[in-house]
Structure formats: C-alpha cells, structure tokens
A and B are shown apart, each in its own frame.
Chain A
C-alpha cells in the first residue's frame, strides 16, 4: 500500500476518516533527575485524526513527543501502537515502524541540498543492498528513479520546487520547517509527529503550513499529532486536544470542550507564554 498513490478523489474531503485507536500512551511518567517532565499521563491517538498537544512552555509537550518517537525512555508507563504493547525501542526502530517526526529546533542535514534531505526519508524504504547496488547497477538505478519520483511529488505537494537544489543551510527558517515536513512525509509515515511546526513563522507562512497539514491528513490519510501554541490554529486544525500543564494532563477533548474547560482557562490565564 502506498499512501502517496492515493489521490484526492478517492478520499472525499468531507467524509471524515477517523478510525480506531492507533497509539495509546498509558500512565507515562518521565523524570530528569529530580525534575518530573511528565507525571502519569494517559491518552490515545486515533487512526486518521489530527491530535493537538497544547500547554504553556515547559509543560512537557516536547518530552511527550520524544517518548512517542523513542528519543526519551519513560520511567513508568506503557506505549501501545497498533494494538500491541511496544517494547523499548531505539528512535531509529520507531521511525522504521512508521512514525515520523519533526523537531522543535529543526534538525536537518545542513550540508545537503533540499532534494538530498528529502531523499534520506526514503533510505529505509530502499530494498537494494550494497552488493546488488554495486553489481546490478541497472536495478539500483530503476529503484532510485522510483524513489526520486515519490520525492518529486512531495516537493510539488509542499510547493518547494524552486529550492530543490538549494543547500538547506542557506534557507530561511520558514522554508526549513517545510523541508523538515517534506523529509518526514518521504518516509510515508502512519503517524506524523510535529513539534511546533508553525513557531516563528509569519501569518502567511502559518496559513501555508496549516494548509499542508490538513492536506497531508486528507490526501494521504496520515494520522498527525502536533504541538502548537497558537490557539486559533489548534482550534481550526485539530479533531481532539490534550492539554498539559506542569507535566500533568489537565484537559482532553474536542476543541469546543477544551475552550470551555475551567482548568484549561485558568492555566492559560495564570501562566505567561509566548
């Protein structure tokens, strides 16, 4: 099954696509020395939905994303993915399971071009091994062409044709974020984790990014969990929202439910955030 082959008409934009539970976090607790970054949090992510995680700075949102992607190992709790309890995994193993991510502070291959950056997303999907690559040049070539075609479609999709060959180190911040999204999409993820995809962007860039996130969800059926500060954006994008404060979960529900949640309102009025 190839997510990128799904076209717009096959999945009607209106027909909502939310299915069963894809990922479930059960009683996660994460400590750094004496600091409790996450305290006994449980929530789930359903297939096909856009799930937002919000909360003031230092609430533990990034830590939660890092637990999901295997970068942090929680002291307590269980992670369930596709109905199975996930054993402790290295970040690269999590990625190979179909969970892609972007980073709050952008992690791109600064020395490579945009195209090469996105191509790295295809690496673990490439089948030809080292020897066959050396010996069967033709077959390796054919595979390369196939992967290139997929990557070109992502480039078109995210409207970054004009910077395909540009070294990433030279790009402005907003475009870097877009390239990072492109690289994550190139892995054809089941679940996409976005850590503040719109932070530091101007209004126009934010609108573009919103559109890309919605389109990704719509066209490829990708499940998305994202962290975002801008409440307006969150309310527009997400199907359900988890609210964190000081490492605890203080709210969980639809945007409407969250808007009228007393604890959430207090947390947001009581704490200064950017």
Chain B
C-alpha cells in the first residue's frame, strides 16, 4: 500500500492533466493562427464560446435574434420547435465556423495585410468583443445546458480499479476522459492533415515564408480562411467539452486567459508545446493547490499559472519547444 498523501497526489495529478486538456485545446487554436499569419488571436476563447452558443441554439431550434425581433415587431418568437440530432447540430455549427472564418478574412484581415502585428492584435480584441456581443444578441445571455450525449458523472470503472490497487477509489469525471481522447484524436488528425494533404502542406509553407509560398502559387488569403476555419473547429471542440462540463456561459471566454500562460510555457509556434504546456499548467495548478494551498490560504489556482509563466519568461523566453532567438548583429 502506498502512503495516503501520494495516492491523493496521484488523483490530483490525473484530474489536473484532464483540466490541462482544455487549456491545451484553446492554446492549440492560438498556435495555429499565430504560426500561419503571425496574428495573436485574442478572440480564440470567444470563438469557443460563440461555437458553443451556436451549437446549443441550433440543436434546440432557437430562433437567432429572437429578442431583437420580438422587441422590434412585438412578436413572441422563441423556437422553431425542433430538436436536431447532436451530430447534425455539430456539423452545422462547424459550417457556421467556416463561414465565420471566411467573413473574418473578408471583412478584417484582407484590409490589414502588411500591418504591424500590434494592429492585427487590436483587431482581434475588437473581434472578440464583437463576437461576444453577437453571441449575446443572437442566442441570449442566459446560461445554457449543452447536451450532445457525452457520458457524464464519475467513472465507476476507474473508481473500482483504483480502489482495488490503492485502497482508495479515484474520482475521475467520465467527461474528462472523453475530452482527453477527443483532444488526442484531434491532434492526430491535425498532424496527418498538415503532413500529408496538399492543403496541410500549403499551410506549412505559408507559416514558414510568405514570399516563397506566393512564388509557388499558394494564395495567402485561401490559407488564412483555411486556418481560421480549423481554429474555429478546434474552438468548437473546446466549446463542446467546456460547455458539457460547466454549461455554456459567457465566462467560457475567460479560459482564453489561461491559454496565455500555456503559450508562454509551450512557445507560441509549437503545437506539441501547446499540448504539453496545457498539461503542465493544468497539472501544476492542481498539485500546487493540493500541497501549498492549505499552507498559504488557498485559491492559488487563480494566479499559479501566471507566476509559472513569468518564471519561464525570465529563464526560457522562447518557451519549452520554441527555437532560441539569437539577434543577428
């Protein structure tokens, strides 16, 4: 038998890793866009929120802009009166995210080609608030439950097995296990896509050198729509997982803030970095709370990730996997 403290720590570690999967998913969306276009997309978290809102709305047959329409015309509309199967609603939402990517390229990025990164960053801040407002007006501000049939509750199997091994049954959320598997599948699919399809190759080419990409006939604008679509799809997955866990609410966009320390750890251009960084932050903050929380008054999860990121900034500014930048003189 292992000492109690160690067994608890193992459970905390597992839970932390699974929380980290969420951070990793959001960070992944960031990295994709940053690599391909050098844009730091502040709106990535809001994309996840918007995707989740749209998914719930479509699934429940909510009429978009119902409030607005009712207020303007004195009607009393709420619902189309249908309930879509989860798979269909997810597919439709994915299409909406592609449309959104197209619109973002058309209405914003196209006009800001060759601008300073800070300008593009400001544009994505604007986009974030716009999308948050749009989500609110389209689907309403109330907290919604998202049910796409993912398993819920504590996994009894794991509880039983660990009880047998350690004399103590681990509480692991089934949803966390599913989220981990889905995230792993997503990363595998993205890797296959970028290594073996022509669009994936075009994407890598654009991420590496714009001029060279143009010279072999790759349209930068097409690649940007593509990469924002993929980021939108990743946001949808993140939105589903988070929404299924804690309901679809506007605080969802705040997970974007946790992705920031993840990126500082993993490096802004590394996909493995985003994954590993997310896992480290998720695990780190849970373990720190477990061991140090009681000593220093708790609530360490609010700040631990940022302090860890700060330490990284001081000692390894390029992140875990980023390449060391040596100034040419």
CA distance A165 to B124 in the complex (A): 38
Name B214's contact: one of A95, A111, A116, A121 (CB within 8 Å): A95
CA distance A102 to B211 in the complex (A): 10
B71 within 8 A of A: no
Tell me whether B204 and A112 are in contact (CB under 8 A): yes
Sample of 15 A–B contacts (CB below 8 Å): A71-B214, A90-B219, A95-B215, A100-B216, A108-B209, A109-B209, A112-B205, A120-B212, A123-B205, A123-B216, A126-B198, A133-B197, A133-B198, A140-B197, A187-B217
Say how far A70's CB is from chain B's closest CB, in angstroms.
Answer: 8
Say how far B198's CB is from chain A's closest CB, in angstroms.
Answer: 5
For B140-171 the 0/1 string (1 means CB < 8 A from A) is 00000000000000000000000000000000
Tell me whether A96 and B209 are in contact (CB under 8 A): no
Tell me whether A69 and B204 are in contact (CB under 8 A): no
CA distance A181 to B219 in the complex (A): 21
Interface residues in A123-138 by Cβ distance below 8 A to B read 123-124, 126, 128, 130, 133-134
B24 within 8 A of A: no
Instruction: Given A92-B219, A133-B197, check contact A120 B214 (CB 8 Å).
Output: no
CA distance A102 to B215 in the complex (A): 8
Name B218's contact: one of A69, A116, A123 (CB within 8 Å): A123
- CB-defined contacts of A91 to chain B, threshold 8 Å: 214-215
Tell me whether A96 and B217 are in contact (CB under 8 A): yes
Which A residues contact B (CB, under 8 angstroms)?
69, 71, 90-93, 95-96, 100-103, 107-112, 116, 119-121, 123-124, 126, 128, 130, 133-134, 140, 183-184, 186-187
Instruction: Given A107-B209, A120-B201, check contact A183 B216 (CB 8 Å).
Output: yes
Interface size class of chain B, counting residues whose CB lies under 8 Å from the partner chain: 20 to 34
Which B residues contact A (CB, under 8 angstroms)?
196-199, 201-202, 204-205, 208-209, 211-220
- Most chain A beta carbons < 10 A, residue from B201, B217, B220: B217
Say how far B109's CB is from chain A's closest CB, in angstroms.
Answer: 15
Instruction: Given A109-B208, A109-B209, check contact A119 B218 (CB 8 Å).
Output: no
Beyond known contacts A93-B219, A103-B212: 8 more, CB 8 A cutoff? A109-B204, A120-B205, A120-B212, A124-B216, A124-B217, A126-B198, A130-B199, A133-B196
Tell me whether B201 and A123 are in contact (CB under 8 A): yes
CA distance A174 to B101 in the complex (A): 41
Say how far A269's CB is from chain B's closest CB, in angstroms.
Answer: 35
